[in-house]
Structure 1
Amino acid sequence: MKKTLKTIASQLHLWLGVTSGLVVFIVAITGAILVFEEELEPLLYPSLYKVRQEEGEKRLSLDQLIHTVKARYPDHQLTRIFIEPDGHRTIITNLKRNKKDKHPLAVAINPYTGIITAEREEQSAFFPVVLQLHRYLCMGETGKVITGISCVTFLLVMLTGLLLWWPNRKNRKHRFRIKWRASFKRLNWDLHAVAGFYVLPFIFVIALTGLVWSYKWVNNLIYLTFDGMPPQKREAPINLSSGLPADSHFERIFSETNLLLPHEGKVTFTMPESDSLAITVSKSDDEAMISNVVSFLYFDKNNGSLISERLYENETKGFKARRVVFPIHTGSLLGWPTKLLALLAALVAATLPATGLLIWWGKRKKRKRNAEKLSVTGARNTTRPHVRPEMSLKKTV
């Protein structure tokens, strides 16, 4: 029974690995690149993110800065504003040509001089392209289906691989260490089985949390588990005041946000699609023990007054559980230590399809050689002359 189970596991591990191997490699490599996206982006695009703050230099009014951006791009609509707590960072705005435009233009402005330092089309930038490859294989919804199926397949591959790796009394010592000075064949097996075992818990959790973006029912399951109900649709409230929307309240809103949420963190303005809805302002809490802790405030678009708030501490358990999925998946949960673990796990995961393929190819060649030897031996037996027993007896006498 045990041998039969391992035989089934071996076949599943092989063919599921073959069918999903290429996608797993692409997703793992791109995932490894995205682990340190926040740290690498400013290095790749310094003019978009970095500015020099002279001693005693004060930031210009946010209203003045946004007015400069709008005057430079009169045919675009402002959709978002990103303000980092670091004084040596630009203020970045996202602009769209119209509501149907899915590719925003990122425009960076120096907060001390009001000079626009850089712009870029987001869909053509390095990390957004890597993200599209990671989630959709740059194939839209079709790619999303493929990565979702491959993610589920990879989970089964890991479970069957663990069953095949499971040690017994004879091979227990070899299952926990890599023999670096061994032959290439043995070293390749160790890199696949032993290294795979050590990173399996991390890869399994990363792949499992990745299902949240592939399948809506997985996302809903989180809320059903913790809240007992599916997620509620969250929208910005309607403006309380009437009149024409004004663009001269950004500084007031920013100041009040920092008063209500005094912790360090990135502030994001999200402009509503309709003029009747409020402006959504979110602020992350960089002082929290874990990442992705964010509170939301809603301000009247006409006069800049506060309408309502959604503080993180008042959110439901389901919402908090859902918020923690992203940092677990990306490795940013506890900062650099977990990011390094995620990077190492992703790199090892990227090697598994290649080392597994080499193991399969080696076994295939071995079976082929054995088959050839059997055929040669069989041919010799059939060509050997038949000697009658009585003739052999006469010669012996």
Structure 2
Amino acid sequence: MLSSITIAKADTRLVKLKARRKLWLDVHLYLGLIAGAVLTVVGLTGSFAVFFVELQEILNPELALVSTPVEDRKKLHSLDEMVDAAESVKPLGSRFFKLYYPRKPDIAYKFLYFIRDDKQAKNGDGYYIFVDPYTAKVNGTQLYYLKDRYWGRPIVGFIMQLHWCLLQGRTGADINGILAAISIISVLTGLILWWPLTGKFKQALTFKRNASAVRFNFDLHKTFGFYSAIVLLPVLFSGVYFNLPEHVNVLVKLFSPANRPTAFNTIPAEVRSKPPHAGQQALSLSIVEAIVQERYPAGRLWMLDGPKSPEGVYKIMKKDVTELSRFIGYRDVAVDQYSGEILKVYDSGGGSAGDVLLDWQWPLHSGHAFGWPGRILVLLSGLACPVLFVTGVIRWRQKCRARRSADKLDRRRTDR
């Protein structure tokens, strides 16, 4: 008797769980249909974006790689000499914006210049100038940013913009952020649906042998969904943060203080250079670099951001600062452009819990937090997006056909 009651209760619970599962299935379906197509594009472009630096070098070796023979690479020229070389070929009306340090000895220094001249039709366009550090000679110049259009950009820049804003500017970035948030819910509901009600987890994590095409598609969707969710969830959350940082900050501050200024800048806008003395000029890049290297030698030079106004500051960014973290060891240093005084230092992973969470977002999104394995996992998660969308649509169409067939059969039985 007891056994019968227990079985009855179990059957009742299973019926309730299946009814609840039907609700989650509908939510998962419609969210997937709404966000899936865009997530496919964003996922594929994100897979390429993981290696955008390497892609630039592969696609433009004549610009990005140094031509100086290895035996002649005795000593780097000073940064000021490289700046002089870049200044000699810079586009008319352009000004220095940023320097990207090479990641390897055989890579050129990359200077970014923007045209800042209202009288020019190309005002706002950005150019990369590649300089061989061993000869202080320019490898070439590349138009990279076009202010008013996306077509005509180098393929890597085009992919990056398609990934970030769907080629729709700020509006596209907002839409992308919203769809990333929807995709998080879709992934979570997919995990709810994946959870085996009967407790057969091995079956839920593998493909059925000798299965039909319908069953293979189902297994492909659920297994890809489960394994990719481990990486997709943090990548999607970081995508929401980069596109909708103010909204994420509001959410984070509900649980912990967060002082990180923005998603892409760790130095507050209030940090400014002091007014110069009469005739005092801005320090050269070589001097600023030497000041930071002497004070903070750990890590690898990554970027040098130039002042954008007479009150602006130099910002030198370093990565792989293992004394901070093996995973998110980033240090940004703000330097007064006239006196060389270090005005602000931001060490990733050293603030509140909220700041640490936000500091993790770029390393997680790019996969750099875990080196090559992390980058490959992010690459695979991006490739999983079209697989999940296509198999999900196929599964939906299969169910629609099965439902129509069942309805036809019911009508025939009724007619009899």
Amino acid at match of 2:393: L
Amino acid at match of 2:373: P
Q: How does 1:1-150 map to 2 (within 5 A)?
A: 1-51=16-66, 52=68, 53-55=70-72, 57-73=74-90, 74-84=92-102, 86-98=104-116, 101-123=123-145, 124-150=153-179
Shift of 1:240: 5.5
The SS at the match of 1:239 is coil
TM-score, normalising length from structure 1?
0.86
Aligned to 2:197: 168
Q: Aligned partners of 1:373, 1:314: CA distance in 2, in Å?
A: 63
Q: Aligned partners of 1:292, 1:61: CA distance in 2, in Å?
A: 29
Aligned to 2:149: none
Contact 2:55–2:156, Cα closer than 8 Å, also in 1: no
Contact 1:92–1:108, Cα closer than 8 Å, also in 2: yes
Q: Aligned partners of 2:394, 2:171: CA distance in 1, in Å?
A: 30
Q: Aligned partners of 2:355, 2:194: CA distance in 1, in Å?
A: 38
- Greater shift, 77-86 or 304-313, is seen at 304-313
Q: Residue deviations 1:85-114, cap 9 Å, x none? A: 633221111111107854421111111222
Shift of 1:5: 1.2
User: Does residue 201 of the first structure (1) align with residue 230 of the second (2)?
Assistant: yes
Across the aligned residues of Structure 1 and Structure 2, the Cα RMSD in angstroms comes to: 2.7
Contact 2:252–2:258, Cα closer than 8 Å, also in 1: no
Amino acid at match of 1:205: P
Contact 1:31–1:346, Cα closer than 8 Å, also in 2: yes
User: Does residue 258 of the first structure (1) align with residue 296 of the second (2)?
Assistant: no
Q: Residue deviations 1:24-80, cap 9 Å, x none? A: 111111111112223333222223322134345322222222122222225211111
Shift of 1:138: 0.7
The 4+ residue runs of structure 1 with deviation greater than 6 A are none
Q: How does 1:229-240 map to 2 (within 5 A)?
A: 231=261, 233-239=268-274
Amino acid at match of 2:308: E
The SS at the match of 1:122 is strand
Shift of 1:180: 5.5
Contact 1:227–1:316, Cα closer than 8 Å, also in 2: no
Aligned to 2:331: 295
Contact 1:22–1:353, Cα closer than 8 Å, also in 2: yes
The structure having more radius of gyration, on CA atoms, is 1
Contact 2:332–2:346, Cα closer than 8 Å, also in 1: yes
TM-score, normalising length from structure 2?
0.82
Amino acid at match of 2:131: I
- Greater shift, 337-346 or 54-63, is seen at 54-63
Shift of 1:247: 6.2
Question: Structure 2 vs 1, CA of residues 54 and 357 (structure 1 numbering), >3 Å: closer, same or farther?
Answer: same
Q: Aligned partners of 1:376, 1:94: CA distance in 2, in Å?
A: 72
Count residues with an aligned counterpart.
379
Q: Aligned partners of 2:331, 2:408: CA distance in 1, in Å?
A: 69
Q: Aligned partners of 1:98, 1:63: CA distance in 2, in Å?
A: 22
Of all paired residues, the percent bearing the same amino acid is 23
Q: Aligned partners of 2:355, 2:200: CA distance in 1, in Å?
A: 46
